[in-house]
Amino acid sequence: MGSSRDELAICATQVCRHYVMGQAKVQAVDGIDLKIGRGEFVALLGSSGSGKSTLLNLIAGLDRPTAGNIVVHGRDLARLTSAELAGYRRETVGMVFQAFNLIGSMTLFENVELPMRFAEVERPAREQRVREALQRVGLASRWQHRPAELSGGEQQRAALARALVNRPTVLLADEPTGNLDSHNGEEILRLIGEINRLPGMTVLMVTHERALAERFAQRILVMADGRLCGPGAPPQPFPAEAGGGLG
């Protein structure tokens, strides 16, 4: 998918994120320029410590850049207040993590419902949307279960349902297959691919699994030492085998 300027979902300009650790200054992200079009599925590859998760956190609004700016759907994140940034995380982005990050004391239903509590969605609408989201990831019958009662793949599917329940336009996935076996990893990426097909849904996925990225992502970016190393692989057509109903 080509990305024209007026269809940009994410635009990062000279983004830096430096940390001071004792006497040392760590340049986790060092002057990155990035443009991702609306509806693109971009994989961000790199070795551990290359700065890819830091960049993802900056785009997610969980962290603020030391320099540069990030514009997502026309909103400059650097200009947002803390409360506005929380609103941005609630409404614009959905996140999935390597460690799933489901809350262990809550049932799947409660976990998926949680973002809607922050978004002040009315209770009847919440129930409807939780059921839809769980059905989409094939966990409709497990809504009463707690995360510990599910397999890793199921937990990540539940995390995907939670990320989508507030109907975001950007899905940010941080090593979503990192804790999964190859079968479940592939299943998750197939689901993410399906989600990317939703109208206007942009996906940015951090991974170190090049093979899966090449199969599912339309564009691959590679990071090393806080910088982007070239454009990576050219946009790929969506794999035919990745098709399938999402419910």
Partner 1 sequence: MKAADLFDLARRNLRESLLRNALTTLGIAVGVASLVAMLSLGIGLQKMANRRLTRSGLFDTVLVSSRAEFRGFNRGLRPQATGTRVLDENIRQEIARRPKVVEVFPDIRFPTELEYGGKPNLAVIAGLPLSAAQNEALEGMQGRFFSGPQADEAILLADFAKELNPQPAALIGRDITVNYPERQVLANAATPAGFSVIRRQRALRVVGIIEHEPYSGFRGIAHAGVFIPMPLAESLNVLQPGDLRGLATPDSPGRTYNSLVVRVASPNDVEAVETFVKQSGFGVFSLLDATRNLRRFFAVIDLFLGIFGSLALAVASLGIMNTLVMAILERRREIGIMKALGASDGDVKRLFFAEAAAMGISGGMFGVLLGWLLGRVINFGTRIYLQHQQLPSEDVWLVPWWLVAGAIAFAVAVTLVSGLYPAARAARLDPVQALRYE
Which residues bind to partner 1, rule: CB under 8 A? 57, 60, 62-63, 82-83, 86-87, 89-91, 95, 97, 101, 103, 105-106, 110, 114-115, 117-120, 162, 166
Minimal distance, residue 104 CB to partner 1, in Å? 9
CA 230 to chain CA centroid, Å, is 22
Select 100 or 238, whichever has its Cβ closest to partner 1: 100
Select 102 or 188, whichever has its Cβ closest to partner 1: 102
Minimal distance, residue 211 CB to partner 1, in Å? 27
Identify the bridge partners of residue 27 per DSSP, sorted by sequence position.
18
Select 103 or 229, whichever has its Cβ closest to partner 1: 103
Select 112 or 220, whichever has its Cβ closest to partner 1: 112
Select 37 or 147, whichever has its Cβ closest to partner 1: 147
Minimal distance, residue 173 CB to partner 1, in Å? 13
Torsion of CA 175, 178, 180, 184, to 10 degrees: 40
| Residue 203 dihedral angles phi and psi, to the nearest 5° | -125, 130
> In this structure, are strands 8-21 and 219-224 parallel, antiparallel, or unpaired?
unpaired
Decide: 212 and 199 in contact? Cβ < 8 Å: no
Minimal distance, residue 186 CB to partner 1, in Å? 25
Select 8 or 116, whichever has its Cβ closest to partner 1: 116
User: If DSSP codes are grouped into helix, strand and coil, which group holds residue 158?
Assistant: helix
Identify the bridge partners of residue 70 per DSSP, sorted by sequence position.
12
Identify the bridge partners of residue 224 per DSSP, sorted by sequence position.
227
Minimal distance, residue 57 CB to partner 1, in Å? 5
Minimal distance, residue 216 CB to partner 1, in Å? 23
